[in-house]
Amino acid sequence: MKYLVPLITGVCCVSSAIVLAQDTVHYTGKQLVNIDYHHGRLSPAIGVHNIQTFRANRGDTGVASWTYNHAPMLACWNKQFYLEYLSNPVGEHVPPGRTLLQRSTDGYHWTQPEVIFPPYKVPDGFVKKGRTDTAKNAYAVMHQRIGFYTSAGNRLFALGFYGVVLGAKDDPNDGNGIGRVIREIKKDGAFGPIYFLRYNHAFSEKNTDYPFYRSSPDRDFVQACETLLHTPLLMLQTVEEADKDDPLVPLQKDHKAFNYYHLADGRVVGLWKYALTSISKDQGKTWQYPPLRAPGFVNANAKIWGQRTSDGRYATVYNPSEFRWPLAVSVSPNGLGYQNLLLVNGEISSMRYGGAYKSYGPQYVRGIQEMDGKPADGNLWVSYSMNKEDIWISKIPVPVKEKASGEANDVFDRMTGGNELAEWNIFSPLWCRTSIEQYQGKKVLALRDSDPFDYAKAERVFPAAGKRTLEVTLTPVQDSHGRLEIEWQDANGTPCLRLMLDSAGNLLTKQGYRNKSLGKYRAGETLVIRIELNTASRMYTVTVNNGKPSLNLCFAPVTSVERLVFRTGGVRHFPDAETPTDQDYDLPGADRREKEALYYIHAVKTIGQ
Protein backbone atom coordinates (compact mmCIF):
# COMPACT_ATOMS: atom_id res chain seq x y z
CA MET A 1 0.00 0.00 0.00
CA LYS A 2 1.36 3.44 -0.94
CA TYR A 3 0.16 6.75 0.38
CA LEU A 4 -0.41 9.65 -1.94
CA VAL A 5 2.15 11.68 -0.01
CA PRO A 6 5.62 10.58 1.16
CA LEU A 7 5.69 8.51 4.33
CA ILE A 8 7.03 10.34 7.37
CA THR A 9 9.16 8.69 10.02
CA GLY A 10 7.14 7.91 13.16
CA VAL A 11 3.90 6.16 13.99
CA CYS A 12 1.47 9.06 13.80
CA CYS A 13 3.47 12.21 13.08
CA VAL A 14 3.55 14.16 9.84
CA SER A 15 5.12 17.48 9.01
CA SER A 16 3.13 20.65 9.57
CA ALA A 17 3.29 21.28 5.82
CA ILE A 18 1.32 18.08 5.13
CA VAL A 19 -1.22 18.91 7.84
CA LEU A 20 -1.75 22.36 6.33
CA ALA A 21 -1.90 20.98 2.80
CA GLN A 22 -4.55 18.40 3.58
CA ASP A 23 -8.01 18.62 5.01
CA THR A 24 -8.17 16.67 8.23
CA VAL A 25 -10.49 16.09 11.16
CA HIS A 26 -9.68 18.62 13.90
CA TYR A 27 -11.17 20.00 17.13
CA THR A 28 -11.32 23.76 17.64
CA GLY A 29 -13.48 23.87 20.76
CA LYS A 30 -12.14 25.20 24.06
CA GLN A 31 -13.76 22.60 26.30
CA LEU A 32 -11.39 19.98 27.77
CA VAL A 33 -12.13 17.39 30.44
CA ASN A 34 -11.01 17.26 34.06
CA ILE A 35 -10.52 13.55 34.79
CA ASP A 36 -10.72 14.13 38.56
CA TYR A 37 -14.48 13.92 37.90
CA HIS A 38 -16.17 10.99 36.19
CA HIS A 39 -18.22 13.47 34.16
CA GLY A 40 -15.10 15.45 33.28
CA ARG A 41 -16.94 18.69 34.20
CA LEU A 42 -18.67 18.56 30.84
CA SER A 43 -22.15 19.87 30.20
CA PRO A 44 -24.49 17.14 28.97
CA ALA A 45 -25.90 16.74 25.51
CA ILE A 46 -29.54 17.27 26.37
CA GLY A 47 -31.88 14.30 26.31
CA VAL A 48 -29.28 11.50 26.24
CA HIS A 49 -30.62 8.19 27.56
CA ASN A 50 -28.05 5.68 28.84
CA ILE A 51 -29.51 2.17 29.03
CA GLN A 52 -27.85 -0.97 30.36
CA THR A 53 -28.62 -3.95 28.12
CA PHE A 54 -26.63 -6.64 29.95
CA ARG A 55 -25.46 -6.95 33.56
CA ALA A 56 -22.87 -9.59 34.41
CA ASN A 57 -23.60 -11.72 37.48
CA ARG A 58 -21.43 -14.67 38.38
CA GLY A 59 -24.25 -16.03 40.52
CA ASP A 60 -26.42 -16.42 37.42
CA THR A 61 -26.76 -19.90 35.94
CA GLY A 62 -26.92 -18.68 32.33
CA VAL A 63 -24.78 -16.60 29.98
CA ALA A 64 -24.60 -13.71 32.48
CA SER A 65 -22.19 -15.70 34.65
CA TRP A 66 -19.21 -14.76 32.46
CA THR A 67 -17.93 -11.46 33.83
CA TYR A 68 -15.70 -10.16 31.03
CA ASN A 69 -17.96 -8.62 28.37
CA HIS A 70 -16.65 -6.09 25.92
CA ALA A 71 -16.36 -4.63 22.40
CA PRO A 72 -20.05 -4.31 21.52
CA MET A 73 -21.16 -3.71 17.93
CA LEU A 74 -24.51 -2.36 16.75
CA ALA A 75 -26.81 -2.74 13.75
CA CYS A 76 -30.36 -1.68 12.93
CA TRP A 77 -32.19 -4.03 10.58
CA ASN A 78 -35.70 -5.41 10.09
CA LYS A 79 -37.07 -2.76 12.50
CA GLN A 80 -34.83 -4.03 15.30
CA PHE A 81 -31.56 -3.22 16.97
CA TYR A 82 -28.93 -5.96 17.07
CA LEU A 83 -26.08 -5.80 19.55
CA GLU A 84 -23.12 -8.19 19.44
CA TYR A 85 -20.28 -8.42 21.97
CA LEU A 86 -17.57 -10.83 23.01
CA SER A 87 -17.47 -12.61 26.36
CA ASN A 88 -14.90 -14.49 28.46
CA PRO A 89 -15.33 -16.11 31.89
CA VAL A 90 -13.11 -13.67 33.83
CA GLY A 91 -10.59 -11.54 31.93
CA GLU A 92 -9.43 -10.22 28.57
CA HIS A 93 -7.76 -12.74 26.24
CA VAL A 94 -8.26 -15.50 28.82
CA PRO A 95 -10.02 -18.41 27.08
CA PRO A 96 -12.54 -19.71 26.37
CA GLY A 97 -14.22 -16.95 24.40
CA ARG A 98 -17.59 -16.61 22.71
CA THR A 99 -19.76 -13.94 21.10
CA LEU A 100 -23.24 -13.02 22.32
CA LEU A 101 -26.17 -11.31 20.59
CA GLN A 102 -29.06 -9.23 21.93
CA ARG A 103 -32.04 -7.69 20.14
CA SER A 104 -34.42 -4.82 20.84
CA THR A 105 -37.31 -3.16 19.04
CA ASP A 106 -36.99 0.15 20.91
CA GLY A 107 -33.43 0.33 22.32
CA TYR A 108 -34.72 0.28 25.90
CA HIS A 109 -35.84 -3.31 26.38
CA TRP A 110 -33.42 -6.04 25.31
CA THR A 111 -33.64 -9.78 24.93
CA GLN A 112 -31.50 -12.11 26.98
CA PRO A 113 -28.15 -12.73 25.24
CA GLU A 114 -27.84 -15.66 22.86
CA VAL A 115 -24.59 -17.35 21.92
CA ILE A 116 -24.07 -16.66 18.22
CA PHE A 117 -20.43 -17.83 18.02
CA PRO A 118 -19.69 -20.54 20.62
CA PRO A 119 -16.32 -21.46 22.12
CA TYR A 120 -14.02 -23.05 19.55
CA LYS A 121 -11.43 -25.72 20.34
CA VAL A 122 -7.89 -25.10 19.14
CA PRO A 123 -6.50 -28.24 17.43
CA ASP A 124 -4.28 -30.22 19.82
CA GLY A 125 -0.64 -29.88 18.91
CA PHE A 126 -0.97 -26.43 17.34
CA VAL A 127 2.11 -24.26 17.90
CA LYS A 128 2.22 -20.59 16.98
CA LYS A 129 4.99 -19.26 14.84
CA GLY A 130 7.71 -17.87 17.09
CA ARG A 131 6.42 -19.54 20.28
CA THR A 132 6.87 -22.90 21.96
CA ASP A 133 3.49 -23.28 23.72
CA THR A 134 1.62 -26.31 22.38
CA ALA A 135 -2.18 -26.43 22.33
CA LYS A 136 -3.78 -29.22 24.34
CA ASN A 137 -7.47 -29.04 25.30
CA ALA A 138 -7.22 -25.31 24.58
CA TYR A 139 -9.97 -22.98 23.39
CA ALA A 140 -9.81 -19.87 21.27
CA VAL A 141 -10.73 -16.36 22.36
CA MET A 142 -12.85 -14.04 20.25
CA HIS A 143 -11.83 -10.63 19.03
CA GLN A 144 -13.54 -8.62 16.34
CA ARG A 145 -13.43 -5.04 15.14
CA ILE A 146 -16.33 -5.54 12.74
CA GLY A 147 -19.43 -7.24 14.07
CA PHE A 148 -22.08 -6.85 11.36
CA TYR A 149 -22.41 -6.66 7.62
CA THR A 150 -25.64 -5.93 5.73
CA SER A 151 -25.42 -7.09 2.13
CA ALA A 152 -26.78 -5.34 -0.93
CA GLY A 153 -29.53 -7.96 -0.87
CA ASN A 154 -30.58 -6.71 2.60
CA ARG A 155 -29.35 -9.76 4.46
CA LEU A 156 -27.78 -9.27 7.89
CA PHE A 157 -24.64 -11.18 8.85
CA ALA A 158 -22.79 -11.39 12.14
CA LEU A 159 -19.00 -11.58 12.07
CA GLY A 160 -16.46 -12.86 14.58
CA PHE A 161 -12.82 -13.80 14.83
CA TYR A 162 -11.26 -16.76 16.64
CA GLY A 163 -7.81 -15.90 17.96
CA VAL A 164 -5.38 -18.11 19.87
CA VAL A 165 -3.84 -17.46 23.28
CA LEU A 166 -1.66 -20.33 24.53
CA GLY A 167 0.41 -18.74 27.28
CA ALA A 168 1.33 -15.64 29.23
CA LYS A 169 1.61 -12.47 27.13
CA ASP A 170 0.40 -14.31 24.04
CA ASP A 171 -1.50 -12.04 21.65
CA PRO A 172 -4.61 -13.28 19.82
CA ASN A 173 -4.14 -10.49 17.26
CA ASP A 174 -0.65 -11.40 16.10
CA GLY A 175 -1.73 -12.74 12.72
CA ASN A 176 -1.48 -16.32 14.01
CA GLY A 177 -5.11 -16.91 14.89
CA ILE A 178 -7.58 -19.36 13.35
CA GLY A 179 -9.77 -17.12 11.24
CA ARG A 180 -12.84 -14.98 10.74
CA VAL A 181 -16.33 -16.50 10.83
CA ILE A 182 -19.67 -15.34 9.44
CA ARG A 183 -23.26 -16.28 10.18
CA GLU A 184 -26.58 -15.01 8.90
CA ILE A 185 -29.23 -13.55 11.19
CA LYS A 186 -32.58 -14.26 9.57
CA LYS A 187 -35.76 -12.21 9.71
CA ASP A 188 -37.54 -14.88 11.76
CA GLY A 189 -34.82 -14.67 14.40
CA ALA A 190 -33.07 -17.90 13.46
CA PHE A 191 -29.36 -18.15 12.71
CA GLY A 192 -27.80 -19.64 9.63
CA PRO A 193 -24.85 -22.05 9.81
CA ILE A 194 -21.39 -20.79 10.77
CA TYR A 195 -18.82 -20.54 7.97
CA PHE A 196 -15.23 -19.44 7.90
CA LEU A 197 -14.91 -16.27 5.85
CA ARG A 198 -11.12 -15.87 5.97
CA TYR A 199 -8.43 -18.13 7.39
CA ASN A 200 -5.17 -17.20 8.99
CA HIS A 201 -2.15 -18.80 7.35
CA ALA A 202 -1.99 -22.00 9.45
CA PHE A 203 -5.63 -22.98 8.87
CA SER A 204 -7.87 -24.10 6.03
CA GLU A 205 -10.90 -26.30 5.32
CA LYS A 206 -8.78 -29.30 6.27
CA ASN A 207 -8.12 -28.47 9.93
CA THR A 208 -11.14 -26.39 11.00
CA ASP A 209 -14.59 -27.34 12.33
CA TYR A 210 -16.76 -25.04 10.20
CA PRO A 211 -16.98 -25.12 6.40
CA PHE A 212 -15.49 -22.46 4.14
CA TYR A 213 -18.03 -19.97 2.79
CA ARG A 214 -17.44 -21.01 -0.81
CA SER A 215 -18.87 -24.45 -0.03
CA SER A 216 -22.30 -22.98 0.74
CA PRO A 217 -25.08 -23.93 -1.72
CA ASP A 218 -26.51 -20.42 -1.22
CA ARG A 219 -25.05 -18.44 -4.14
CA ASP A 220 -26.31 -15.11 -2.81
CA PHE A 221 -24.54 -15.81 0.47
CA VAL A 222 -21.31 -16.60 -1.35
CA GLN A 223 -21.62 -13.39 -3.36
CA ALA A 224 -22.22 -11.37 -0.17
CA CYS A 225 -19.02 -12.83 1.31
CA GLU A 226 -17.07 -12.01 -1.84
CA THR A 227 -18.34 -8.44 -1.80
CA LEU A 228 -17.38 -8.03 1.85
CA LEU A 229 -13.88 -9.39 1.24
CA HIS A 230 -13.32 -7.01 -1.65
CA THR A 231 -14.61 -3.87 0.09
CA PRO A 232 -11.52 -2.02 1.42
CA LEU A 233 -13.44 -0.04 4.04
CA LEU A 234 -14.62 -3.29 5.60
CA MET A 235 -11.34 -5.17 5.33
CA LEU A 236 -9.49 -2.26 6.96
CA GLN A 237 -11.39 -3.16 10.12
CA THR A 238 -9.78 -6.63 10.15
CA VAL A 239 -6.12 -5.57 9.98
CA GLU A 240 -5.23 -6.47 13.58
CA GLU A 241 -6.49 -10.03 13.33
CA ALA A 242 -5.64 -10.89 9.73
CA ASP A 243 -2.37 -12.23 8.38
CA LYS A 244 0.12 -9.40 8.43
CA ASP A 245 0.51 -9.61 4.66
CA ASP A 246 -3.12 -10.24 3.77
CA PRO A 247 -3.49 -8.74 0.26
CA LEU A 248 -7.16 -7.92 0.87
CA VAL A 249 -6.27 -5.46 3.65
CA PRO A 250 -5.28 -2.22 1.88
CA LEU A 251 -3.40 -0.52 4.74
CA GLN A 252 -1.21 -3.00 6.62
CA LYS A 253 -0.21 -0.76 9.50
CA ASP A 254 -0.71 -1.31 13.21
CA HIS A 255 -3.55 1.21 13.45
CA LYS A 256 -6.43 -0.16 15.50
CA ALA A 257 -10.24 -0.10 15.53
CA PHE A 258 -10.85 1.56 12.18
CA ASN A 259 -14.21 3.12 11.36
CA TYR A 260 -15.23 5.60 8.70
CA TYR A 261 -17.85 7.96 7.31
CA HIS A 262 -18.44 9.71 4.01
CA LEU A 263 -18.24 13.45 3.57
CA ALA A 264 -20.77 15.28 1.41
CA ASP A 265 -18.30 15.34 -1.51
CA GLY A 266 -17.88 11.54 -1.43
CA ARG A 267 -14.50 11.43 0.27
CA VAL A 268 -14.05 9.07 3.22
CA VAL A 269 -12.85 10.08 6.67
CA GLY A 270 -11.03 7.28 8.52
CA LEU A 271 -10.71 7.15 12.30
CA TRP A 272 -8.58 4.86 14.46
CA LYS A 273 -7.65 4.59 18.14
CA TYR A 274 -5.75 7.56 19.57
CA ALA A 275 -7.95 9.72 17.28
CA LEU A 276 -5.74 8.95 14.32
CA THR A 277 -7.29 10.09 11.08
CA SER A 278 -6.80 10.35 7.33
CA ILE A 279 -8.91 10.91 4.20
CA SER A 280 -9.44 8.68 1.18
CA LYS A 281 -10.69 9.69 -2.27
CA ASP A 282 -11.09 6.11 -3.52
CA GLN A 283 -13.19 4.34 -0.87
CA GLY A 284 -10.28 3.24 1.28
CA LYS A 285 -7.92 1.85 -1.36
CA THR A 286 -5.41 4.65 -0.75
CA TRP A 287 -5.11 7.42 1.84
CA GLN A 288 -4.08 11.03 1.38
CA TYR A 289 -1.53 10.98 4.21
CA PRO A 290 -0.32 8.59 6.92
CA PRO A 291 -2.87 8.49 9.75
CA LEU A 292 -2.12 11.37 12.11
CA ARG A 293 -3.55 12.38 15.46
CA ALA A 294 -6.48 14.67 14.71
CA PRO A 295 -5.38 18.17 15.80
CA GLY A 296 -7.07 19.23 19.03
CA PHE A 297 -8.52 15.80 19.78
CA VAL A 298 -7.62 14.07 23.06
CA ASN A 299 -8.00 10.28 22.96
CA ALA A 300 -5.91 7.34 24.16
CA ASN A 301 -5.96 3.60 23.50
CA ALA A 302 -9.75 3.47 23.27
CA LYS A 303 -12.07 3.55 20.31
CA ILE A 304 -13.44 6.67 18.70
CA TRP A 305 -16.64 6.53 16.67
CA GLY A 306 -17.62 8.92 13.87
CA GLN A 307 -20.65 9.14 11.60
CA ARG A 308 -22.89 11.43 9.63
CA THR A 309 -26.09 12.17 11.55
CA SER A 310 -29.63 12.38 10.21
CA ASP A 311 -29.60 16.20 10.23
CA GLY A 312 -26.70 16.28 7.74
CA ARG A 313 -24.11 17.07 10.38
CA TYR A 314 -21.43 14.78 11.80
CA ALA A 315 -20.61 13.47 15.26
CA THR A 316 -17.68 11.79 16.98
CA VAL A 317 -18.23 9.89 20.22
CA TYR A 318 -15.22 8.94 22.34
CA ASN A 319 -13.36 9.20 25.67
CA PRO A 320 -11.67 12.63 25.45
CA SER A 321 -8.91 11.82 27.96
CA GLU A 322 -6.01 9.47 28.62
CA PHE A 323 -8.46 7.37 30.62
CA ARG A 324 -11.67 5.63 29.59
CA TRP A 325 -13.97 8.22 31.09
CA PRO A 326 -16.06 10.23 30.47
CA LEU A 327 -17.91 9.34 27.26
CA ALA A 328 -18.54 12.46 25.18
CA VAL A 329 -19.86 13.65 21.82
CA SER A 330 -18.54 16.37 19.54
CA VAL A 331 -20.43 17.80 16.55
CA SER A 332 -19.23 19.12 13.19
CA PRO A 333 -21.18 20.89 10.42
CA ASN A 334 -18.93 19.48 7.68
CA GLY A 335 -17.31 16.30 9.08
CA LEU A 336 -13.88 17.89 9.50
CA GLY A 337 -14.09 20.77 11.98
CA TYR A 338 -15.46 19.74 15.39
CA GLN A 339 -16.47 22.60 17.62
CA ASN A 340 -17.91 21.42 20.94
CA LEU A 341 -17.62 18.66 23.52
CA LEU A 342 -20.67 17.43 25.44
CA LEU A 343 -21.24 14.68 27.97
CA VAL A 344 -22.90 11.41 26.97
CA ASN A 345 -22.19 9.20 30.00
CA GLY A 346 -20.30 10.52 33.01
CA GLU A 347 -20.88 7.57 35.30
CA ILE A 348 -18.54 4.74 36.29
CA SER A 349 -20.46 1.84 37.81
CA SER A 350 -18.66 -0.22 40.43
CA MET A 351 -16.52 -2.94 38.86
CA ARG A 352 -17.90 -5.93 40.73
CA TYR A 353 -15.52 -8.57 39.38
CA GLY A 354 -11.78 -8.33 38.92
CA GLY A 355 -10.11 -9.63 35.78
CA ALA A 356 -7.20 -9.21 33.40
CA TYR A 357 -7.06 -5.84 31.62
CA LYS A 358 -10.48 -4.67 32.81
CA SER A 359 -10.31 -0.89 32.45
CA TYR A 360 -12.69 1.39 34.35
CA GLY A 361 -15.30 3.48 32.58
CA PRO A 362 -17.74 3.62 29.63
CA GLN A 363 -15.53 2.64 26.71
CA TYR A 364 -14.99 1.05 23.28
CA VAL A 365 -17.85 2.91 21.70
CA ARG A 366 -19.33 1.86 18.36
CA GLY A 367 -22.37 3.14 16.48
CA ILE A 368 -24.19 1.79 13.44
CA GLN A 369 -22.02 1.36 10.35
CA GLU A 370 -23.32 3.18 7.27
CA MET A 371 -24.55 0.01 5.55
CA ASP A 372 -26.03 -1.49 8.72
CA GLY A 373 -29.24 0.50 8.95
CA LYS A 374 -30.73 3.75 10.21
CA PRO A 375 -32.94 3.97 13.32
CA ALA A 376 -36.45 5.11 12.56
CA ASP A 377 -36.26 7.90 15.15
CA GLY A 378 -33.29 9.52 13.38
CA ASN A 379 -31.24 9.64 16.57
CA LEU A 380 -27.61 8.69 17.11
CA TRP A 381 -27.34 5.32 18.90
CA VAL A 382 -24.03 4.01 20.23
CA SER A 383 -23.01 0.92 22.19
CA TYR A 384 -20.14 0.47 24.64
CA SER A 385 -19.05 -1.55 27.64
CA MET A 386 -18.84 -0.38 31.23
CA ASN A 387 -15.64 -1.59 32.89
CA LYS A 388 -15.42 -4.39 30.28
CA GLU A 389 -18.10 -6.02 32.41
CA ASP A 390 -21.56 -4.76 31.49
CA ILE A 391 -22.99 -3.66 28.14
CA TRP A 392 -24.68 -0.31 27.57
CA ILE A 393 -26.32 1.66 24.80
CA SER A 394 -26.96 5.40 24.51
CA LYS A 395 -29.55 7.29 22.54
CA ILE A 396 -28.22 10.75 21.65
CA PRO A 397 -30.99 12.95 20.23
CA VAL A 398 -30.38 14.50 16.82
CA PRO A 399 -29.84 17.37 16.40
CA VAL A 400 -27.42 17.26 19.34
CA LYS A 401 -28.52 20.02 21.70
CA GLU A 402 -26.40 21.70 24.37
CA LYS A 403 -28.67 24.52 25.57
CA ALA A 404 -32.00 24.11 27.32
CA SER A 405 -34.92 25.55 25.42
CA GLY A 406 -36.65 26.78 28.56
CA GLU A 407 -37.63 26.15 32.14
CA ALA A 408 -38.96 22.80 33.31
CA ASN A 409 -42.72 22.57 33.72
CA ASP A 410 -43.05 18.81 33.58
CA VAL A 411 -46.25 17.28 34.88
CA PHE A 412 -45.61 13.82 33.51
CA ASP A 413 -49.23 12.71 33.34
CA ARG A 414 -50.05 15.67 31.08
CA MET A 415 -47.17 15.16 28.67
CA THR A 416 -47.33 13.59 25.20
CA GLY A 417 -46.85 9.85 25.31
CA GLY A 418 -43.30 8.82 24.45
CA ASN A 419 -41.94 12.36 24.83
CA GLU A 420 -42.08 12.72 28.59
CA LEU A 421 -38.30 12.34 28.94
CA ALA A 422 -37.23 14.15 25.77
CA GLU A 423 -35.56 16.90 27.82
CA TRP A 424 -34.26 14.55 30.52
CA ASN A 425 -30.93 12.75 30.66
CA ILE A 426 -31.22 9.33 32.26
CA PHE A 427 -28.85 6.66 33.54
CA SER A 428 -30.76 3.39 33.76
CA PRO A 429 -29.06 0.13 34.85
CA LEU A 430 -31.06 -3.09 34.63
CA TRP A 431 -31.50 -3.26 38.41
CA CYS A 432 -32.02 0.52 38.74
CA ARG A 433 -34.54 1.41 36.08
CA THR A 434 -35.33 5.05 35.26
CA SER A 435 -38.52 5.22 33.19
CA ILE A 436 -42.06 6.48 32.81
CA GLU A 437 -44.57 4.26 34.63
CA GLN A 438 -48.17 4.32 35.80
CA TYR A 439 -48.91 5.07 39.46
CA GLN A 440 -52.51 5.27 40.66
CA GLY A 441 -53.63 5.65 37.07
CA LYS A 442 -51.26 8.50 36.21
CA LYS A 443 -47.92 8.74 34.48
CA VAL A 444 -44.90 9.36 36.68
CA LEU A 445 -41.12 9.32 36.39
CA ALA A 446 -40.11 6.21 38.33
CA LEU A 447 -36.68 5.57 39.82
CA ARG A 448 -36.18 1.97 40.97
CA ASP A 449 -33.11 0.62 42.74
CA SER A 450 -32.25 -2.90 43.88
CA ASP A 451 -28.55 -2.77 42.92
CA PRO A 452 -26.07 -2.40 45.80
CA PHE A 453 -23.38 -1.30 43.33
CA ASP A 454 -25.22 1.20 41.13
CA TYR A 455 -28.05 3.73 41.06
CA ALA A 456 -30.78 5.20 38.90
CA LYS A 457 -30.39 8.79 37.81
CA ALA A 458 -32.52 11.42 36.06
CA GLU A 459 -31.22 14.88 35.19
CA ARG A 460 -32.93 17.98 33.82
CA VAL A 461 -31.10 20.95 32.29
CA PHE A 462 -32.60 24.46 32.28
CA PRO A 463 -31.27 27.97 31.58
CA ALA A 464 -28.61 29.17 34.02
CA ALA A 465 -29.76 31.51 36.78
CA GLY A 466 -28.41 32.74 40.11
CA LYS A 467 -31.86 33.02 41.66
CA ARG A 468 -33.99 29.97 41.13
CA THR A 469 -37.08 28.24 42.48
CA LEU A 470 -37.88 24.55 42.24
CA GLU A 471 -41.12 22.75 42.96
CA VAL A 472 -41.05 18.95 42.88
CA THR A 473 -43.86 16.54 43.75
CA LEU A 474 -42.78 13.00 44.58
CA THR A 475 -43.88 9.87 46.41
CA PRO A 476 -41.43 7.53 48.15
CA VAL A 477 -42.92 4.03 48.17
CA GLN A 478 -40.92 3.02 51.27
CA ASP A 479 -39.31 4.68 54.30
CA SER A 480 -37.27 1.80 55.72
CA HIS A 481 -34.65 1.35 52.98
CA GLY A 482 -33.28 3.04 49.89
CA ARG A 483 -31.92 6.54 49.34
CA LEU A 484 -32.89 9.40 47.06
CA GLU A 485 -30.71 12.46 46.55
CA ILE A 486 -31.82 15.69 44.89
CA GLU A 487 -29.12 18.11 43.76
CA TRP A 488 -28.81 21.46 42.05
CA GLN A 489 -25.66 21.78 39.97
CA ASP A 490 -23.91 24.34 37.83
CA ALA A 491 -22.85 23.87 34.19
CA ASN A 492 -19.79 21.84 35.24
CA GLY A 493 -21.71 19.43 37.44
CA THR A 494 -20.69 21.09 40.73
CA PRO A 495 -23.52 20.67 43.27
CA CYS A 496 -24.33 23.51 45.62
CA LEU A 497 -27.19 21.94 47.58
CA ARG A 498 -28.37 18.41 48.22
CA LEU A 499 -31.58 17.06 49.76
CA MET A 500 -31.73 13.41 50.85
CA LEU A 501 -34.46 10.93 51.65
CA ASP A 502 -32.49 8.42 53.70
CA SER A 503 -33.17 4.77 54.59
CA ALA A 504 -34.77 5.61 57.95
CA GLY A 505 -37.52 8.00 56.86
CA ASN A 506 -35.50 11.20 57.36
CA LEU A 507 -35.55 14.18 55.00
CA LEU A 508 -32.12 15.82 55.22
CA THR A 509 -30.08 18.54 53.59
CA LYS A 510 -26.29 18.68 53.41
CA GLN A 511 -24.75 21.49 55.48
CA GLY A 512 -20.99 21.30 55.00
CA TYR A 513 -19.67 18.20 56.75
CA ARG A 514 -22.99 17.52 58.48
CA ASN A 515 -26.57 16.85 57.47
CA LYS A 516 -29.46 18.92 58.78
CA SER A 517 -32.89 17.43 59.44
CA LEU A 518 -35.85 18.83 57.55
CA GLY A 519 -38.30 16.41 59.14
CA LYS A 520 -39.61 12.92 58.46
CA TYR A 521 -41.28 11.34 55.45
CA ARG A 522 -43.59 8.33 55.28
CA ALA A 523 -43.96 5.51 52.81
CA GLY A 524 -46.66 6.25 50.22
CA GLU A 525 -47.11 9.86 51.36
CA THR A 526 -46.67 12.44 48.61
CA LEU A 527 -44.21 15.27 49.26
CA VAL A 528 -44.40 18.70 47.65
CA ILE A 529 -40.96 20.26 48.08
CA ARG A 530 -40.23 23.89 47.25
CA ILE A 531 -36.66 25.21 47.14
CA GLU A 532 -35.79 28.88 46.70
CA LEU A 533 -32.11 29.59 46.03
CA ASN A 534 -29.92 32.71 45.78
CA THR A 535 -26.39 31.78 44.70
CA ALA A 536 -25.07 35.27 45.50
CA SER A 537 -25.90 34.90 49.20
CA ARG A 538 -25.47 31.08 49.05
CA MET A 539 -28.72 30.75 51.00
CA TYR A 540 -31.77 28.64 50.18
CA THR A 541 -35.06 27.82 51.82
CA VAL A 542 -36.84 24.47 51.78
CA THR A 543 -40.59 24.22 52.27
CA VAL A 544 -42.26 20.81 52.56
CA ASN A 545 -46.04 20.42 52.05
CA ASN A 546 -46.62 24.15 52.63
CA GLY A 547 -45.00 23.97 56.07
CA LYS A 548 -42.63 26.46 57.66
CA PRO A 549 -39.65 27.33 55.40
CA SER A 550 -36.24 26.14 56.59
CA LEU A 551 -33.29 28.47 55.87
CA ASN A 552 -30.05 26.76 54.83
CA LEU A 553 -26.55 27.51 53.54
CA CYS A 554 -25.21 25.92 50.32
CA PHE A 555 -22.40 23.46 51.00
CA ALA A 556 -20.46 24.67 47.93
CA PRO A 557 -20.38 28.03 46.13
CA VAL A 558 -21.52 28.39 42.53
CA THR A 559 -22.40 31.46 40.47
CA SER A 560 -25.50 29.91 38.91
CA VAL A 561 -27.36 26.62 38.62
CA GLU A 562 -28.72 24.94 35.51
CA ARG A 563 -29.09 21.25 36.31
CA LEU A 564 -31.43 19.31 38.57
CA VAL A 565 -30.41 15.74 39.48
CA PHE A 566 -32.39 12.89 41.07
CA ARG A 567 -30.16 9.94 42.07
CA THR A 568 -30.85 6.81 44.12
CA GLY A 569 -27.41 6.75 45.72
CA GLY A 570 -24.45 8.83 46.82
CA VAL A 571 -22.02 10.55 44.49
CA ARG A 572 -19.07 8.40 43.30
CA HIS A 573 -15.39 9.39 43.23
CA PHE A 574 -13.80 5.95 42.70
CA PRO A 575 -11.91 5.28 40.53
CA ASP A 576 -9.69 8.29 39.95
CA ALA A 577 -6.53 9.01 38.00
CA GLU A 578 -4.39 7.44 40.75
CA THR A 579 -6.35 4.18 40.99
CA PRO A 580 -4.22 1.12 40.04
CA THR A 581 -4.89 0.08 36.45
CA ASP A 582 -5.99 -3.52 37.03
CA GLN A 583 -8.54 -4.57 39.63
CA ASP A 584 -7.61 -8.11 40.70
CA TYR A 585 -10.35 -8.60 43.30
CA ASP A 586 -14.13 -9.06 43.41
CA LEU A 587 -16.27 -6.76 45.53
CA PRO A 588 -17.78 -8.41 48.63
CA GLY A 589 -21.21 -9.83 47.85
CA ALA A 590 -20.76 -9.03 44.17
CA ASP A 591 -23.65 -11.32 43.17
CA ARG A 592 -26.25 -10.02 45.59
CA ARG A 593 -29.40 -8.02 44.89
CA GLU A 594 -31.11 -5.85 47.50
CA LYS A 595 -34.74 -5.14 48.31
CA GLU A 596 -36.02 -2.67 45.78
CA ALA A 597 -36.48 1.00 46.63
CA LEU A 598 -38.89 2.97 44.47
CA TYR A 599 -39.58 6.69 44.04
CA TYR A 600 -42.30 8.26 41.90
CA ILE A 601 -41.80 11.81 40.64
CA HIS A 602 -45.08 13.39 39.57
CA ALA A 603 -44.05 16.89 38.57
CA VAL A 604 -41.03 19.19 38.31
CA LYS A 605 -41.23 22.94 37.85
CA THR A 606 -38.36 25.46 37.76
CA ILE A 607 -38.38 29.26 37.75
CA GLY A 608 -35.20 31.25 37.10
CA GLN A 609 -34.37 34.95 37.55
Mean pLDDT by 10 residues, the chain (609 residues): 38 44 84 97 98 97 95 97 98 97 98 98 94 95 96 97 93 95 97 98 97 98 98 97 94 92 98 97 96 96 97 98 98 96 98 97 98 97 98 98 94 96 98 98 98 98 96 98 98 97 98 96 98 98 97 97 97 96 95 98 95
DSSP H/E element including 315 = strand 314-318
What does the pLDDT read at residue 606?
Answer: 96
Q: Measure CA of the first residue to CA of the last residue in the chain; give whole Å.
A: 62
Q: Provide the residue type at 491 as one letter.
A: A
DSSP H/E element including 508 = strand 506-511
pLDDT tens per residue, range 37-82: 999 999 999 999 999 999 999 999 899 999 999 999 999 999 999 9
Q: What is the DSSP letter of 210?
A: S
Secondary structure, 3-state, 47-74? CCEEEEEECCCCCCCCHHHCCEEEEEEE
Measured distance CA(345)–CA(338) in Å, rounded? 19
Taking the domain 37-396, which CATH number applies? Answer: 2.120.10.10
What does the pLDDT read at residue 22?
Answer: 54
Domain residue ranges in the chain:
37-396, 409-575+594-608
pLDDT tens per residue, range 319-364: 999 999 999 999 999 999 999 999 999 999 999 999 999 999 999 9
- Edge to edge, what strands does the sheet with 506-511 contain? 362-366, 380-386, 390-396, 49-54, 424-428, 457-465, 561-567, 484-489, 495-501, 506-511, 514-520
- Tell me whether residue 361 is exposed, middle or buried, using C-beta atoms within 10 angstroms of its C-beta: 0 to 12, 13 to 18, 19 or more: buried
Measured distance CA(549)–CA(563) in Å, rounded? 23
Class of domain 409-575+594-608: mainly beta
**Cβ-proximal residues to 537 (8 Å cutoff; 6+ apart), any chain:** none
Measured distance CA(558)–CA(483) in Å, rounded? 25
